[in-house]
Amino acid sequence: MATRTCTDDSGSVTKNPKSLVWTITELVNDLVAGFNELRTDHATSVTSVDSLVTLATELRTDHATAITWSTEVDADEDVMNDILDFWNQDGVIGGSFTIAVAAAVTLAGTGHIEYKIGGVKYYTDFPTTITLQDRGDIVQNKYGAWRILIDRLGAVSTQDTGAQMAWANAEDALLNLSAAAQTANTALIGLFTVTDSGAGGFNIGTTNTSGGTATGVVYTVRGPVKRVTGLYAANGAVTAPNVTHYATGTRDYQINGLRVAQDAAEADKAFDDADTIGQAQYGGWLIVTNLAQNATYALAANGVAGAVSAMTYASAALAIAAVGLVQDRLPPLFAPVSRLIIANALLGTWTANTDDLAGTDGTATFTDCTVGTWNRAASTGLDSHKIVPPTVPATITAPLVATITAAAPSAGPATLSAAAVDDITFRAQGTP
C-alpha cells in the first residue's frame, strides 16, 4: 500500500488502515462534503415545497367553488327529474275516443287512444264494445260503479266494487272503488255508474246500459289520475274538530282535468257514515270533495262509503297507511282535502257523530293536503295528488372552477452524489 502523509500542528501522520488520526480526518472531510450537498438540496426542496403549497391553496379554493356549483346543479337535476316524472305518469296521454252508454248490454267505444303503463307508451284503436264485470245484479233504485281499464295489449275491461252492488247513490258507488286495488298492469280510462228504477233492477249482461228505466253515466278520464285531480290553491282554513263533527275551509280544486267553482267553508260538517273505532284503537278517514262539488265526504280508511266501517287499527301508523291506500285508489272525480286519524279514548266503542273529537272521547289529528308541485319521491299516499308541474330551473348562477394559475411544482433535489462516509478504523494498542 502506498504511504500518504498529512501535516497538522502536531506533525506528520502516515495513512495506515490502523491510523486513528488519518481515519478521523477523512471522516470529517466526508461529512463536510455531505452536509454541503444537503444544504444545497434543502434550498431546492424549499422552492419545490413552496410551489406545492401555492398549488394546494388554489386547489382548495377551487374545491369550494366546485362544491357550490355541484350543489346548485344537483338541486336542478332533482327538479328536472321531477318534471320528467310528472309527464311520464301512467294513464291516458292522448287520442280521440269516446265511451258511451248504448242500447245494448255493453258500453260503446269509438276512436283511438294513447296511454302509458309502467312508463311505456301504447297506442291503439278503441274497441267498439266494453263488457261490464258481473259479480251480482243491482237491485231496484240502487247503484253500481265500475272502473274502465285498458291493458298493454289494448284490451278494455271493467272492474266493479266487488260482490253484489247495492249502493244508495252514485257517489257512494264510485267511492267504494277505493276499497279495491286497480287491476295490475292497466291504465284507468273511465268510470261508469248505473241505476235502474224498474222492478227488476239492473241485470248485468241483460239490461241495456241506456234506455228503458236504466240510467247510466260514463266519466271519461282525461289523463293520469294524480295529475288531473287535486288542489290548485291552499285550503281557506285548516280542517279542525268541531265537537262531534269537523270544520273545513274553502276549497279550490281541479276535477278530472278541469277547475271547478270554489267550495264554501263548512263550519259544522257531520260524518257521512256512523263509523266506529274499537276500544284503545285507531280510526282513519280521507276527507275528499263530494261528487256534487259542494261539500266534503269523510271516507273511512277501508274505502267503504255508504255503510258503517268498524275500524280496529292497532296504531296510528296502521290507520295512516290504510288512508294512504285509499287515496292511491281514489277515482279522479274526488279531490283529497285532509286526513283524519282518531285515537279512541273511551272505555268502549267510539262512534262518529256521537262521540267528540276534542280529546274527551277521541283525540283527533288532521293533516291537510297541500298544493305544491309533483315530487317523484312522494307520489303515493296522502298529499300525492299534485296537478302543478315543477318549474324549469333557471340558468346556473354558481361560478365554474377557473383555469389553474399556480405554476407546476418545481423538481425536487437529485440523488445525493457525496461519497459515503468511511468506516472508522483503529490502530491496535502497542503496534507501531
Give 286-330 pLDDT, tens digit per residue: 999 999 999 999 999 999 999 999 999 999 999 999 999 999 999
Q: What is the average per-residue pLDDT within 357-366? A: 95
Residue 57 predicted with pLDDT over 60: yes
Q: Would residue 387 count as lying in a domain?
A: no
Mean pLDDT of the chain: 90
Q: Would residue 190 count as lying in a domain?
A: yes
Does 118 lie in the same domain as 168?
A: yes
How many angstroms separate the CA atoms of 281 and 314, rounded? 5
Q: What is the average per-residue pLDDT within 322-346? A: 98
Residue 92: C-alpha distances to residues 33, 120, 257 (Å): 89, 12, 12
Residue 345 predicted with pLDDT over 90: yes
pLDDT value of position 245:
98
How many angstroms separate the CA atoms of 214 and 106, rounded? 13
Are 37 and 417 in contact, with CB atoms under 8 Å apart?
Answer: yes
Q: Which domain holds residue 201?
A: 91-223
Q: Would residue 392 count as lying in a domain?
A: no
Please tell me which residue, 191 or 431, carries the higher pLDDT value: 191
Are 225 and 188 in contact, with CB atoms under 8 Å apart?
Answer: yes
Place of cell 344537483: 74
Give 116-125 pLDDT, tens digit per residue: 999 999 999 9
Residue 145 predicted with pLDDT over 90: yes
Q: Would residue 415 count as lying in a domain?
A: no
Give 273-287 pLDDT, tens digit per residue: 999 999 999 999 999
Percent of the chain with pLDDT over 90: 73
Does 236 lie in the same domain as 215?
A: no
Residue 7 predicted with pLDDT over 90: no
pLDDT value of position 62:
83
Give me the number of domains the chain comprises: 3
At 67, the amino acid letter reads I
Give 225-236 pLDDT, tens digit per residue: 999 999 999 999
pLDDT value of position 37:
66
pLDDT value of position 104:
96
Q: Would residue 385 count as lying in a domain?
A: no
pLDDT value of position 31:
72
Give a three-class secondary structure readout of the chain: CCCCEEEECCEEEECCCCCHHHHHHHHHHHHHHHHHHHHHHHHHHHHHHHHHHHHHHHHHHHHHHHHHHHHHHHHHHHHHHHHHHHCCCCEEEEEEEEEECCCCCCEEEEEEEEEEECCEEEEEECCCEECCCCCCCECCCCEEEEEEEEECCCCEEEEECCCCCCECCHHHHHHHHHHCCCCCCEEEEEEEEEEECCCCCECCCCCCCCECCEEEEEEECCCCHHHHCEECCCCCCCCEEECCEEEECCECEEECCEECCCECCEEEECCCCCCEECCCCEEEEEEEECCCCCCEEEEECCCCCCCCCEECECCHHHHHHHHHHHHHHCCCCCCEEEEEEEEECCCCCEECCCCCCECCCEEEEEEECCCCCCCHHHCCCCCCCCCCCCCCCCCCCCCCCCCCCCCCCCCCCCCCCCCCCCCCCCCCCCCC
Does 254 lie in the same domain as 357?
A: yes
Residue 60 predicted with pLDDT over 80: yes
pLDDT value of position 48:
79
Does 326 lie in the same domain as 289?
A: yes
Residue 315: C-alpha distances to residues 240, 321, 348 (Å): 21, 10, 17
Q: Would residue 265 count as lying in a domain?
A: yes
Does 12 lie in the same domain as 148?
A: no
Residue 36 predicted with pLDDT over 90: no
Give 81-100 pLDDT, tens digit per residue: 999 999 999 999 999 999 99
Sign of CA dihedral 280, 281, 287, 290: negative
Does 112 lie in the same domain as 30?
A: no
Does 214 lie in the same domain as 235?
A: no
Are 150 and 190 in contact, with CB atoms under 8 Å apart?
Answer: no
pLDDT value of position 429:
47
Q: Would residue 412 count as lying in a domain?
A: no
Does 159 lie in the same domain as 67?
A: no
Residue 276: C-alpha distances to residues 243, 251, 355 (Å): 16, 27, 10
Residue 269 predicted with pLDDT over 90: yes
Residue 1 predicted with pLDDT over 70: no
pLDDT value of position 302:
97
Q: Would residue 408 count as lying in a domain?
A: no
- Of 159, 188, 223, at which residue does a domain stop? 223
Does 102 lie in the same domain as 18?
A: no
- Pick the most confident of 210-214, 342-346, 414-418: 342-346
**Which band of pLDDT confidence, cut at 50, 70 and 90, is reported for residue 41?**
low
- Number of neighbours of residue 318 by Cβ within 10 angstroms: 16
Does 142 lie in the same domain as 267?
A: no
Say what the pTM is: 0.82
Q: What is the average per-residue pLDDT within 382-388? A: 95
Does 147 lie in the same domain as 69?
A: no
- Of 51, 81, 111, at which residue does a domain stop? 81
- Of 24, 48, 81, at which residue does a domain stop? 81
Does 193 lie in the same domain as 116?
A: yes
Please tell me which residue, 134 or 432, carries the higher pLDDT value: 134
